[in-house]
Amino acid sequence: MNDFAYYVPVRFGETGKAYYFGTNNEALKPGDHVVVDTISGFEMGFVAETPKSTELYHSDLELKPVVRLANEEDEEDYALGKEQSKSSLIIVEREAKKLGLDMNFINASYTLDGSKITVNYTADGRVDFRELLHVLAPQLKCRIDLHQVTPRDKAKMVGGMGICGLPLCCSTFLNHFDGISISRAKNQMLTLNIPKLSGACGRLMCCLLYEDELYTQARADFPRIGETLHTLEGDYKVTSFNILSRSIKLEGNDEVKFIPLEDYRTMAKGGKAMSFSDLHKSEPTPASSYSAPDMNPSTKNQKQDNAPKDNSNNNRRNDNRNRGQRNNNRPQGQNNNNRQNNKDNRRQGQNNDHRNPQRGFRPRHRDNRSDNKVNPTPSDKHDA
């Protein structure tokens, strides 16, 4: 490690993990193709980041060297190895099928010099492939490494889209996998539906781990499931709660209640039982802070006042007054006869529609609007 002034991360493939290699070339840039010396032989990768000083390297692993920048011959060997790996993978699958081995092959890759081929596969358990190696060796004529990977490693190699609509986390930025159990989903109060909680690999989704610690901290503010709350209405048990909305579900007395966490703390804090109706009782307003209501007319009333008024009722009232004055000028006997005729006509028209033109009298206020009602004057009563 002391032989190099810098170290640089090199990635193999588009979604592979970055490995650190030592170099003295400070001019390397992200994306440059380089030839590096690995435990499998010479391989070609691309620089992931700019070189950094080895003084910042604190790992105990030995740094392998960056041999050189890739030239045209290295690019041709790399392209030839990719083409040969496809035909070699077909041969491996065919021979494994003949031997009846339950192996699901993913991909194959050659080293830059073609001296070794690595074949990745998945299987339900351990597979005895020693006979397969004896069959493949004379056909491929190179060292053969059959590497069993986990379903998550397969998803990382193949790639894909998650249910969130984004590329898989394992194929973009995750370099290692942490253990994820169903307790993560329980801690986040998720429905234990395994198909919905599983990712493209068939295992529990890695994103269940991202917010697990935050949920653990938030759950400390909530009561335990099954805790009893004593109220004046009876005893209620905590059956569930929602961390995001900070609400608690209570069940008891053949009913279900949802209350905020703050209200639950208020009711559970004191030693004396409370009622749910006591939570939001309005306190009396102090006299010093009392303010008189606004007595100014609203805009709507102002618009109604400014609107043109209907003077039909006023005109009708004036006509009734004039009619009463005319009746007063008539002889007393004639007025009594008219009054008696009006009563007879009223009795006769009770079973008729008031809109009937032959009715014996006309109602005074046909306009039923409340803002234009006028109390009858003495003269109107006399006329009636």
User: Do 137 and 94 fall within a single domain?
Assistant: yes
User: Do 89 and 123 fall within a single domain?
Assistant: yes
Residue 294 falls inside a structural domain: no
What is the rounded average pLDDT of the residues 266-284?
A: 72
User: Do 144 and 86 fall within a single domain?
Assistant: yes
Look-up of token digits 């035909």? 87
Residue 52 falls inside a structural domain: yes
Residue 34 falls inside a structural domain: yes
Looking at the DSSP assignment, which residues form a beta bridge with residue 108?
119
Q: How many residues does the chain have?
A: 384
The C-alpha atoms of residue 63 and residue 32 are separated, in whole angstroms, by: 19
Please work out, in degrees rounded to the nearest 5, the angle formed at the alpha carbon of residue 197 by the alpha carbons of 195 and 203.
80
The C-alpha atoms of residue 104 and residue 92 are separated, in whole angstroms, by: 11
User: Do 241 and 213 fall within a single domain?
Assistant: no
Three-state SS string over 116-153 comes to: EEEEEEECCCCCCCHHHHHHHHHHHCCEEEEEECCHHH
Asked if residue 290 has pLDDT above 60, the reply is no
pLDDT band at 35 (very low <50, low <70, confident <90, very high): very high
Residue 158 falls inside a structural domain: no
The C-alpha atoms of residue 6 and residue 1 are separated, in whole angstroms, by: 9
pLDDT band at 341 (very low <50, low <70, confident <90, very high): low
Please say whether the dihedral angle defined by the alpha carbons of residues 53, 59, 63 and 66, taken in this order, is positive or negative: negative
Asked if residue 143 has pLDDT above 50, the reply is yes
Residue 223 falls inside a structural domain: no
The C-alpha atoms of residue 349 and residue 363 are separated, in whole angstroms, by: 11
The contacts found for 331-339 with CB under 8 angstroms, 24 or more apart, are: none
Residue 376 falls inside a structural domain: no
C-alpha R_g of the chain: 46
Mean pLDDT of the chain: 78
Q: What pLDDT sits at residue 277?
A: 79
Asked if residue 337 has pLDDT above 60, the reply is no
Q: What pLDDT sits at residue 297?
A: 47
Q: What digits encode the pLDDT tens for the residues 183-232?
A: 999 988 888 899 999 998 889 999 999 999 999 999 999 999 999 988 88
Q: Strand order of the sheet with strand 116-122?
A: 104-110, 116-122, 143-148
User: Do 19 and 66 fall within a single domain?
Assistant: yes
Question: Token pair for residue 172?
Answer: 């973009």
Residue 278 per-residue DSSP state: G
Return the biggest CA–CA distance within the chain: 144
Q: Exposed, middle or buried: residue 373 (CB in 10 Å: 0-12, 13-18, 19+)?
A: exposed
Q: Could you tell me if 162 and 206 are in contact, meaning their C-beta atoms sit under 8 angstroms apart?
A: no
pLDDT band at 59 (very low <50, low <70, confident <90, very high): confident
The C-alpha atoms of residue 247 and residue 257 are separated, in whole angstroms, by: 10
Please work out, in degrees rounded to the nearest 5, the angle formed at the alpha carbon of residue 355 by the alpha carbons of 352 and 361.
70
How many distinct structural domains can be found in the chain? 4
User: Do 211 and 236 fall within a single domain?
Assistant: no
pLDDT band at 156 (very low <50, low <70, confident <90, very high): confident
Residues 6+ apart with CB under 8 A from 3: 22
Helix, strand or coil, per DSSP, at residue 27: coil
Residues 6+ apart with CB under 8 A from 13: 157
Q: What is the extent of the structural domain holding 133?
A: 77-149
CB atoms closer than 10 angstroms to residue 221: 11
176 or 33, greater pLDDT? 33
Residue 176 falls inside a structural domain: yes
β-pair type (116-122, 143-148): parallel
Look-up of token digits 């009223």? 346
Residue 234 falls inside a structural domain: yes
Burial annotation 109-129 (CB, 10 A radius, 16+ → b, else e): bbbbeeebbbbbbbeeeeeeb
One-character DSSP codes across 204-253: BPGGGGTSHHHHHHHHTTSPPTT-EEEETTEEEEEEEEETTTTEEEEEET
